[in-house]
Structure 1
Amino acid sequence: MDESERELMIAFVNKYRPVARRGSESFGLVWRKMQAEFPAYTADELFNVLVGRRVEFVFLDDGPV
């Protein structure tokens, strides 16, 4: 993601972030709009921009439950 694309995405997020903070339903609405607006980016990239910080996901595989 280059700097101009990041700035466009941040402007989009700044417009919709207050809506996303109203609850999970609102967050889902913003998330779908973001995915439609920026289809070339991974879910991780979009999520990191939307929440405004770098988030690492760790998946633990402890074997069968």
Structure 2
Amino acid sequence: VVTPERGVRVVDGLLTGLHEPEASHLLMLEAVTGREAVARGYEEALDGRYLWHEFGDVHLLLPS
């Protein structure tokens, strides 16, 4: 199980869609990039009116 506490070992980045702020999926994103990067990305997505879920936009997350 990937969590911020356990981290990841071999991931250089993650291409993912946008999910609801309460989704457990965000823990995996935070494990790769850190909580601050995920929060900044979601803030930009909201400001830019990006689309969510299956037919939404995609973003690339890279470790800090």
TM-score by length of 2: 0.32
Say which structure is richer in helix: 1
Work out which structure has the larger RCO, using CA pairs closer than 8 Å and 6 or more positions apart in sequence.
2
The structure having more radius of gyration, on CA atoms, is: 1
Say which structure is richer in strand: 2
